[in-house]
Each structure stands twice: as structure tokens, then as C-alpha cells.
Amino acid sequence: MAIVDSMNNTRLPMQVTPADWPGGYWWHWLFFTVILIVFVLVMVMGAIYIERRGLGRMQSRLGPNRVGPFGLLQPVADAIKVLLKENIVPNSADKVVHWLAPIIAFVPAMMIFAVVPFQNGALLADLNIGILYVIAISSVSTIGVFMAGWGSSNKYSLLGAMRNVAAVVSYEIPLVLAVIGVVLMAGSLSLNQIVLKQDIPFILLQPLGFLLFFAAGCAEINRSPFDLFEADQELVAGFHTEYSGMKFAMFYLVEYGEAIAMSAIITTLFLSGWRGPLLPPWLWFILKTLIIFFLMVWTRTTFPRARIDQLMALAWKFLFPLALINLFITAIQILVWPDALPWILIFINIAIMVILILLWSKFFKLGWGRIEV
């Protein structure tokens, strides 16, 4: 068949399997699938640990430090606890929807890692539409969240799920526009190519893009200061109020899995992925991902929460125009000065970012006030 022929044909520019991989296609697939699943689970546990210790230390208290040395086994203890809990399903819940929701929410979070490069050429599938795949897949977990909210037959869950859908749909646009700036600079949609082109990390060449992507990414994955979908103080637990036991663990995994996935994407797009001196590349990759994740934890500790209409106003009136302007300026820079010295470009871009953000925030009104009832 054509597919098998193309897999064995080593002259195609796009390779699913590298030519020198022992065992061919299926061993490559098995090896990377196992590595990815292990990687995601271990990184999620590491993320949970970093979050709880980091949050604790920043709030002038110790985080968990009883289970294992320095509390390192705390996520394991959490996992065991959650597995042993009783699975309660509300009587009037829609059984099938309630059961399917965590799975539909979790699978896309894992699938994003299929195109993230750990080393030069070391990824599960070197698609030449890498970043488009990432953006498409990451939106699917919203369906899972909405199913959870609807299937729980609980008004709190429904409120949380509605907020989530509205916000995710709105924040897709600044997210995508910020990514296109990077794609223009790199000249390819494939994540491996984007890393290979980053002699200077794109965070310096696209500072505004980085900030936009970070903000929009935080809103997509339900992290503070935009974590109002599961706002503890208002909606008890938002869309996963009625979940317990393993299904709750899946939602928990989704939250941290998506956080790690978003950090990994930011690392590949803006911080030049696995590139770096001295240490092995995959170690650089993990380190950079954890640094970005720590940045997310830091913003979570520091800021209060936005309100839903303020969130929407931020997406549409602040991030979206800035993303468009960023795109235009990047395009102009690439067309007019394709060979410009990078340092001038860096300087100009940072200056533009500062001016734009300051100017825009002056004209920007966050949300609207009281509605006459």
C-alpha cells in the first residue's frame, strides 16, 4: 500500500521514522509512546510537587514535607488516595456523558506531546504541520469539560462549564495569532524546524508574542489569574464538582498535563527547545519546561482572579488587537529587512512591545459594571 511504501522509502523530505531507526516504524512508535506516557505522568507528578511546595514557600509556610524526603513522594500519596476513593455518580446525572467526559478531556492533553521534540528529530511524529496539530488538538478537551459540566446535573458545574467554553473559544484567537508570528520567523509549521531555526531564542525577537501566548495559554488551561472555571470560592469546584475517585484524578491530571504541555510548547516556540551548551538536549528541554511552569505557579500565587466579563474583555479588546498588530509588524519586518542584524530587531521589538502595552492599557476598560435589573 502507498503508506507502507512511503514508510520504507527513505528519500521523502517528511519522515515519520528516521532512516536509521532499528526495527522500523512500529518499534519507533512503541518506544516513543511508552516514553511519552511515562514522561507525561512523571512530569505531572513533578509539576504537582513543584506547585505545592512553591505555593507553600511563597505563602511563607512549608509545603508538604512529610511523605518521603522533602515531600517528594507526596504526588504518589495523592494518587494512591484518589484511586482508593469511592466513585460517586449523582442520581440524575447523564451516565454516559458523565463517564466519557474525563477521557475526552484527558486524551488531547497527552496527544499534544506527540509532536514536541525532545532532541533533534526525537519525536513521536515529525509532522510538518506540527503547531497546527497542537492548536487543533488542544481545543478538543473543552468538549470534555463541557460534557462534565452538563452531565453532572448540577448548576454550579454548568456555570463553570459555560464560563470555560466561552473563554476557551475567545482565547484561541490571540493564541493562534501569537503563534503565527513565530511561524513567520521560522518559516515552517513543524516544531522540529522551529527549534532548529532558533539560533537566537524567539523570546527576544518576539517579546510581545511571548507575553500574548503566555497570557492566552494560561486562560486556555484554566490557570490563575484566569482560573475562574473552577473558582474555589464561588463555584465550589466548577465543572468537576460532582467527580470523585479516579475520574477526579483524570481531571486533576488534565489540569497539570495541559500546564506541562503548554510549558513545553512555549519552550519549543520561544525558548529554543532542546538547544543549549554542555547538558544533554533532553535535560535542557525538561529544565526549560519546568522554568516556564514555575512562572505559571508564580503568577498563581501573586494575583487575584479576574471576573468572567473582564476575562472576555481582555481577550477581545486587549489581546486580540495587540496580536494583530504584532503579526503585521513581524510580517513587515520579514518582508522589508529579511537580512537585518538580529540585535537591531531585538531592540526594536522590545521597544514596540513596551510602547504598545503601555498605550493600550490606557485606553482599555476592563469589563462593564452593574447591569440594571
Partner 1 sequence: MTTTGEITFKTEPFVLNFGPVHPSTHGVYRMRATLDGEVVLDIEPVFGYLHRGIEKLAEERTYTGFIPLTDRLDYISPMSNNLGYCLAVEKLAGIKVPERAEYIRVIMAELQRLANHCIAVGSFLSDCGAMFTPFMYMFREREKILDLFDMVCGGRLTYNYMRIGGVSQDIPDEFLPALQKFMGTMPGMIEEWENLLKQNEILLARTKGVGILPREMAINCGISGPVARGSGVKWDLRKADPYCIYDRFEFDIPTGEVGDCYDRYRVRVEEMKQSLRIIKQAMEKVPSGPVRAEVPHLIRPPAGEAYAHIEAPKGELGFYIVSDSSIAPYRCHVRPTSLINLTALREMVKGWKVADLIAIFGSIDITMGEVDR
Beta carbon of residue 100, minimum distance to partner 1 (angstroms, whole number): 26
Q: How far is Cα 216 from Cα 189, in angstroms, rounded to an integer?
A: 20
Beta carbon of residue 369, minimum distance to partner 1 (angstroms, whole number): 6
Nearest to 135 by CA among 161, 108, 117, 162: 108
Beta carbon of residue 76, minimum distance to partner 1 (angstroms, whole number): 25
Q: Which residue number, 32 or 251, has a Cβ lying nearer to partner 1?
A: 251
Q: How far is Cα 125 from Cα 106, in angstroms, rounded to an integer?
A: 20
With residues binned 3-state (H G I as helix, E B as strand, rest as coil), the percentages for the chain, rounded to 5, are 70, 0, 30
Identify whether 338 is preceded by a cis peptide bond (ω within 30 of 0). Answer: no
Q: Which residue number, 193 or 244, has a Cβ lying nearer to partner 1?
A: 244
Q: Which residue number, 33 or 59, has a Cβ lying nearer to partner 1?
A: 59
Q: How far is Cα 41 from Cα 37, in angstroms, rounded to an integer?
A: 6
Sequence-ordered list of residues with C-beta below 8 angstroms from that of 363, at least 6 positions apart, any chain: none
Q: Which residue number, 223 or 288, has a Cβ lying nearer to partner 1?
A: 223
In the chain, what is the straight-line distance between the N-terminal and C-terminal CA atoms, in Å? 66
Query: Could you tell me the three cell numbers for 136?
Result: 487543533
Query: Could you tell me the three cell numbers for 65?
Result: 514535607
Sequence-ordered list of residues with C-beta below 8 angstroms from that of 357, at least 6 positions apart, any chain: 208, 211, 322
Beta carbon of residue 119, minimum distance to partner 1 (angstroms, whole number): 36
Q: Which residue number, 331 or 359, has a Cβ lying nearer to partner 1?
A: 359
Binding residues vs partner 1 (CB under 8 A): 55, 58-61, 155-156, 159, 163, 224-225, 227-228, 231-236, 300-310, 366-367, 369-373
Q: How far is Cα 40 from Cα 45, in angstroms, rounded to an integer?
A: 9
Q: Which residue number, 13 or 369, has a Cβ lying nearer to partner 1?
A: 369
Beta carbon of residue 253, minimum distance to partner 1 (angstroms, whole number): 21
Q: Which residue number, 220 or 230, has a Cβ lying nearer to partner 1?
A: 230
Beta carbon of residue 228, minimum distance to partner 1 (angstroms, whole number): 7
Q: Which residue number, 28 or 163, has a Cβ lying nearer to partner 1?
A: 163
Q: Which residue number, 57 or 85, has a Cβ lying nearer to partner 1?
A: 57
| Cβ atoms within 10 Å of 311's Cβ, excluding its own | 23
- Between the alpha carbon of residue 46 and those of residues 70, 93, 227, the distances in Å are 13, 34, 21
Q: Which residue number, 137 or 231, has a Cβ lying nearer to partner 1?
A: 231
CB 50 within 8 Å of CB 294? yes
DSSP alpha helices (H): ranges in 187-238? 191-196, 202-205, 207-220, 232-235
Beta carbon of residue 81, minimum distance to partner 1 (angstroms, whole number): 20
Beta carbon of residue 256, minimum distance to partner 1 (angstroms, whole number): 16
CB 259 within 8 Å of CB 290? no
User: Residue 57, CB half-sphere, CA atoms under 13 Å: how many?
Assistant: 10
